[in-house]
Structure 1
Amino acid sequence: MLITLFYFFIAIVVIQIFYYLGIFGKFAFGKPQEITPKNLPVSVIVCAKNEEENVKKFIPLLAEQDYPDFEIVLIDDASSDETLEAFEEFEKQYSNIRLVKVQNNEAFWGNKKYALTLGIKASRKDYLLFTDADCYPTSKHWITAMTSQFTMNKTIVLGYGGYEKIERSLLNKVIRFETVLTAVQYFSWAKIGLPYMGVGRNLAYKKEEFFNVNGFIDHIQVRSGDDDLFINQAAHKANTAISYNPESFTYSKPKETYGEWFTQKRRHTSTAEYYKFFDKMQLGLFFSTQLLFFLLVILLLAFQFQWIAVLAILATRYTVIWTVIGFSAGKLKENDLKIWFPIVEIVLIFTQINIFITNIFSKPVHWK
């Protein structure tokens, strides 16, 4: 029995090394990305619901982008605070800001995809760049950096949306590490021609891509997924590029309690069940091998079975993964996370298990 488990353990580690070296290494060991300005006409789309404080801070950073041809489409999704009033002031202040006011619709009550659809239809530019109301770009060249990856064929660009660093916070390191790992996954799969998701905090595509798939209509009943479900449907090898130059990054404030972050991750995880079959399988295999790895290590060492070989395999696995994560974190300017990898990986694995079990018995709440 133990010999079977030992060989199974080896197979699990081989699968994980394949993921990290064979797939994630495509991003980790890739060359730094250069920016070649394209000066394409761009509509920056921001949808907000009850984000008064955030929009007051961050909309001016968008309006002050150093880019020759862009507008900002601000969408107020029936906010009950002063978000709409703040948007109206910005519309008066900046000539390139256009405001879309969304009234509650009985058929699409509280549905962000409905609000985004109205904003997209109201936009006047051919290229759309999305970010959230609580996000801000790292530089005045954010639009330039993101649009530089568009070509005649590449009409979808996946960007990186990180979270602010909070000193002496383990939760913050867990949140940021999970964000890095997620980005490494969707960047790497896109690089090998199998894009499966993107994040609405930093995402761009040509407007025609939206209409080619009839917008969000195929998953309009799913409250989340205006970013990842759309990309899962519309993106493919020929039309998708990635942007990882540091000037293309956006950041937002992370959750400050585990409960808030857990609720957020429940919403994100719940959309994965609507992914294409292959994408669900590769994600399921990746996360299941992570869990099985730890369970088998504990079991084999507890029985002291081939313990020297187990420790050698353990060391090999950590060396490979640490190297890939290290290079990836460096590209995403998250260098401080490298040393925390062994700890935060364990936290993430058991959080994923908790999310999976919790989502079975109750549905997460979406959009404000």
Structure 2
Amino acid sequence: MELTLSESCLLGALIFCFVIQLYFSLFVHLKLALVKVEEIPVHAPKPLSVVICARNEAENLKQYLPYVLHQEYPDFEVIVVNDRSWDKTREVLEEFAAEYKHLKVVTVAEGEKFIAGKKFAVTMGIKAAVNEWLVFTDADCQPATANWLMGMQQPENEASEIVLGYSPYMRKGGLLNGLIRFETFFTAVNYLSFALKGMPYMGVGRNMAYKKSLFFKKKGFAAHMHIPSGDDDLFVNAHANRHNIEIRINKDTHVWSVPNSTFSGYLKQKKRHFGAGKMYKAGHKFILSAQVIIQFLFYALFIASLFFSPANYIAASVFVLSLIIRSFIYPRLLNRLNYPGLRWWFPLLDILLFIFLVFNGILSIFVKKVKWK
């Protein structure tokens, strides 16, 4: 079987992309698939504060705040920051506060100075907290169990200043919901795996924790206050390292969140995240960009190779081998991260996610202005 120079170059590039793809799968993501799941502690020696920011979240607070208030943790407070809501959020919080003494309500009035998206509200919540260990979630989030805080409490190792949790989206049915859940899964696999590898680059504010002293020592969000998003991932990107980070993937510590129900709403959400990503450290941006580019080239080169014979047989073999290896790793992770139903759809969702990431990246070039809510 003889190949022309162009066919050899095409296949060489395809195999190169395949090898880089294998690196991320086998030497980064596989660590998360094989790591031992931590046990939930049976003791809670230190108090903690839960911080939730809410803007026009009356209905979500009614439904999900009780799951936070009823945590089986011996000493904790819940701080809800009402950020300039104009619905019934204030009334709902007043009713809860009258019943639950460990609930503290902080109100951000319209016209407050230096307001920059969610970060001002988060800062107000942190200032109101009386405890050193802060656990963060959102108003539309539901802890998987009453042991959530037991699992997210301050680690025994005092050097650990940040804990990254996991927050899957609820199943609602439909292709969009499947794509949202798969994208959330893959994002979590990436940031949790790189944290295990000693290169933490982000966290998700729906389920994470850190020390109050770290926040003020690093001057809070001062370095990126002008970015509407990034109260979670930019803070971790700037201040996490291999020595002060831990992850939590025990299913008792998961926090379920309400997904977007429209494609436009989902695009708006991802646009906010994309804007924050531009502020990541250079090394992190390079690696994350390389992942998307390599995947794009892998698919593009594979399709191009199909038009050449006998190169198409080799390309098909490489593609099938890639699919087999990835199908061994990622369905296992889907089970571990509470998405067992998606494992049968992995090949299709993997391709759709890649198409969406490319589309969102192009769209982000032209759409500049974003808001928190």
* TM, length-normalised to structure 1: 0.97
Residue in structure 1 matched with residue 110 of structure 2 by the alignment: 104
Secondary structure class of the residue paired with 1:163: coil
**Residues in 2 aligned to 1:220 and 1:325: alpha-carbon distance in whole angstroms:** 36
Between stretches 356-365 and 75-84, larger displacement belongs to: 356-365
Residue among 122, 129, 151 paired with 1:123: 129
For residues 226-272 of structure 1, the C-alpha deviation after alignment (integer angstroms, 9 at most, x for no partner) is: 00000001111110000000000001111122222122111112211
**Residues in 2 aligned to 1:327 and 1:249: alpha-carbon distance in whole angstroms:** 17
Residue in structure 2 matched with residue 170 of structure 1 by the alignment: 175
**Residues in 2 aligned to 1:270 and 1:354: alpha-carbon distance in whole angstroms:** 15
Going from structure 1 to structure 2, the CA distance change for 1:110 and 1:194 (only over 3 Å counts) comes to closer
Q: What is the deviation of 1:129?
A: 0.3
Computed over aligned residues only, the root mean square deviation of the Cα atoms, in angstroms, reads 1.3
For residues 192-220 of structure 1, the C-alpha deviation after alignment (integer angstroms, 9 at most, x for no partner) is: 11100000000111111111211001000
5 Å-filtered alignment, 1:56-205, equals 56-105=62-111, 107-109=113-115, 111-147=117-153, 149=155, 151-167=157-173, 169-205=174-210
For residues 51-105 of structure 1, the C-alpha deviation after alignment (integer angstroms, 9 at most, x for no partner) is: 1100111111111111001000010001111111111111111010111111234
The amino acid across from 2:97 in the alignment is E
Residue among 306, 316, 321 paired with 1:301: 306
5 Å-filtered alignment, 1:274-293, equals 274-293=279-298
Is the Cα contact below 8 Å between 1:270 and 1:364 reproduced in 2? no
Count of aligned residue pairs for this structure pair: 367
Going from structure 1 to structure 2, the CA distance change for 1:76 and 1:150 (only over 3 Å counts) comes to farther
Query: Which stretches in structure 1 are left out of the alignment for 5+ residues?
Result: none
Going from structure 1 to structure 2, the CA distance change for 1:260 and 1:304 (only over 3 Å counts) comes to farther
Q: What is the deviation of 1:131?
A: 0.2
**Residues in 2 aligned to 1:47 and 1:30: alpha-carbon distance in whole angstroms:** 32
Q: What is the deviation of 1:307?
A: 2.1
**Residues in 1 aligned to 2:262 and 2:366: alpha-carbon distance in whole angstroms:** 22
Is the Cα contact below 8 Å between 1:263 and 1:364 reproduced in 2? no
Secondary structure class of the residue paired with 1:91: helix
Going from structure 1 to structure 2, the CA distance change for 1:106 and 1:76 (only over 3 Å counts) comes to closer
Q: What is the deviation of 1:37?
A: 3.7
The amino acid across from 1:86 in the alignment is V
Going from structure 1 to structure 2, the CA distance change for 1:148 and 1:115 (only over 3 Å counts) comes to closer
**Residues in 2 aligned to 1:105 and 1:205: alpha-carbon distance in whole angstroms:** 29
Going from structure 1 to structure 2, the CA distance change for 1:162 and 1:149 (only over 3 Å counts) comes to farther
Residue among 336, 351, 354 paired with 1:349: 354
Is the Cα contact below 8 Å between 2:133 and 2:154 reproduced in 1? no
* TM, length-normalised to structure 2: 0.95
The amino acid across from 1:147 in the alignment is Q
Is the Cα contact below 8 Å between 1:225 and 1:271 reproduced in 2? yes
Residue among 19, 22, 27 paired with 2:32: 27
Between stretches 49-58 and 82-91, larger displacement belongs to: 82-91
Residue in structure 1 matched with residue 10 of structure 2 by the alignment: 5
4+ residue segments displaced more than 6 Å: none
Residue in structure 2 matched with residue 212 of structure 1 by the alignment: 217
